[in-house]
């Protein structure tokens, strides 16, 4: 049995530069990952199976299709083999929330399969499989702090940060396509230069305004997070609606966690950035 974590992905900064001719958007982003998230478990079996449990299992179970099974099938198509697998997903991250839940699950599945079948994580064929599954999947496959360009798949490592983090979702799912459709097409400039902290502090998330228009509850989350003692920065991740706050200390993060826990319907996770 192989167990792989699928940690939440954060966009500490996300600059949208232009809409490309292929329909995608040219991005510049600072990817970071936290300690906690979903978990993928893989075991050899006579036939393929896929099981989901956890707090957000019901939402995914109703979809039928899933990035985990697509990752399994794409891995087999790329690397061959007759071995079948039983895969279990412990779904603890909210769905359609801007923290890469599906992409992280797909990447964890690829890592588990790669471990089982002796494929290096940086094998170009595996990275190509990840890229074909989604723009965030290559970054989630690497699972470390990175600068992403292109659709997000052109990756450059950067030294990461070790800070306590509080993730908060107001209990709403936001469609990525709808958020991008409302982006005003204004190029507000490139990602700043410097270390990860400098890029994060001087950066922005260009998808925040359209996401906030679609889900005004994001305004409330950011307003609450930004005034908590010890907060370094508060921002929305990805296309939302999950927001995050970086803190100076675990004690400050815990205090903020108690504040948001009192909000009915809000999901939150006290965690930390990993380098």
H or E stretch covering 69 = helix 67-79
**pLDDT given for residue 96 in this prediction:** 85
Quote the pTM value. 0.95
Q: What is the pLDDT of residues 203-242, one digit of tens each?
A: 999 999 999 999 999 999 999 999 999 999 999 999 999 9
Domains of the chain: 2-157 (3.30.230.10), 164-274 (3.30.70.890)
Q: What is the pLDDT of residues 45-85, one digit of tens each?
A: 999 999 999 999 987 775 666 899 999 999 999 999 999 99
Mind giving me the DSSP string for 213-275? HH-THHHHHHHHHHTSTTEEEEEE-TTSS-EEEEES-HHHHHHHHHHHHTSTT-EEEEEEEE-
Average pLDDT over residues 88-98: 94
Instruction: State the pLDDT confidence band at 275, using cuts at 50, 70 and 90.
Output: confident
Query: 213 vs 6, 25, 98, 188, 260, CA distance in Å?
Result: 30, 20, 16, 19, 22
**pLDDT given for residue 59 in this prediction:** 79
**pLDDT given for residue 62 in this prediction:** 59
**pLDDT given for residue 51 in this prediction:** 95
Task: Tell me the HSE value of 139 on the side-chain side, using a 13 A CA sphere.
Answer: 33
**pLDDT given for residue 60 in this prediction:** 77
- Catalytic residue, from 9, 38, 206, 252: name it: 9
Place of tokens 């990817």: 31
Q: What is the pLDDT of residues 232-263, one digit of tens each?
A: 999 999 999 999 999 999 999 999 999 999 99
Q: Are strands 267-274 and 25-45 parallel, antiparallel or unpaired?
A: antiparallel
Q: Tokens standing for 235?
A: 């921002």
Looking at the DSSP bridge assignments, the partners of residue 9 are: 33
Q: Tokens standing for 25?
A: 């958007």
Question: For this structure, is 9 an active site residue?
Answer: yes
- Catalytic residue, from 38, 105, 136, 206: name it: 136
For residue 223, count other CB atoms closer than 10 A to its CB. Answer: 10
**pLDDT given for residue 64 in this prediction:** 60
Q: What is the pLDDT of residues 127-157, one digit of tens each?
A: 999 999 999 999 999 999 999 999 999 999 9
Q: What CA–CA distance (Å, rounded) separates 170 from 4? A: 28
**pLDDT given for residue 63 in this prediction:** 60
């Amino acid at each position: 049995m192989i167990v792989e974590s699928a940690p939440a992905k954060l966009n500490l900064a996300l600059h949208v530069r232009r809409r490309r001719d292929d329909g995608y958007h040219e991005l510049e982003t600072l990817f970071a990952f936290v300690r906690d998230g979903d978990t993928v478990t893989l075991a050899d079996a006579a036939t393929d199976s896929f099981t989901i449990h956890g707090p957000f299992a019901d939402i995914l179970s109703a979809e039928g299709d899933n990035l985990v099974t697509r990752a399994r099938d794409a891995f087999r198509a790329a690397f061959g083999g007759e071995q079948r697998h039983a895969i279990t997903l412990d779904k603890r991250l909210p769905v359609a929330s801007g923290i890469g839940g599906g992409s992280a699950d797909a990447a964890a599945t690829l890592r588990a399969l790669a471990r089982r079948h002796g494929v290096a994580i940086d094998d170009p064929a595996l990275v190509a499989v990840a890229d074909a599954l989604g723009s965030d999947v290559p970054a989630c496959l690497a699972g470390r702090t990175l600068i992403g360009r292109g659709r997000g798949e052109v990756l450059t490592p950067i030294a990461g940060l070790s800070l306590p983090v509080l993730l908060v979702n107001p209990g709403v799912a936001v469609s990525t396509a709808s958020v991008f459709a409302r982006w005003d097409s204004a190029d507000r400039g490139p990602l700043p230069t410097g270390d990860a902290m400098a890029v994060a502090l001087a950066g922005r998330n260009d998808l925040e305004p359209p996401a906030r228009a679609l889900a005004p509850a994001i305004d409330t989350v950011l307003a609450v997070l930004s005034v908590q003692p010890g907060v370094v920065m508060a921002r929305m991740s990805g296309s939302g609606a999950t927001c995050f706050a970086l803190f100076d200390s675990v004690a400050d993060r815990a205090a903020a966690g108690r504040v948001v826990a009192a909000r009915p319907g809000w999901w939150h996770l006290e965690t930390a950035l990993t380098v």
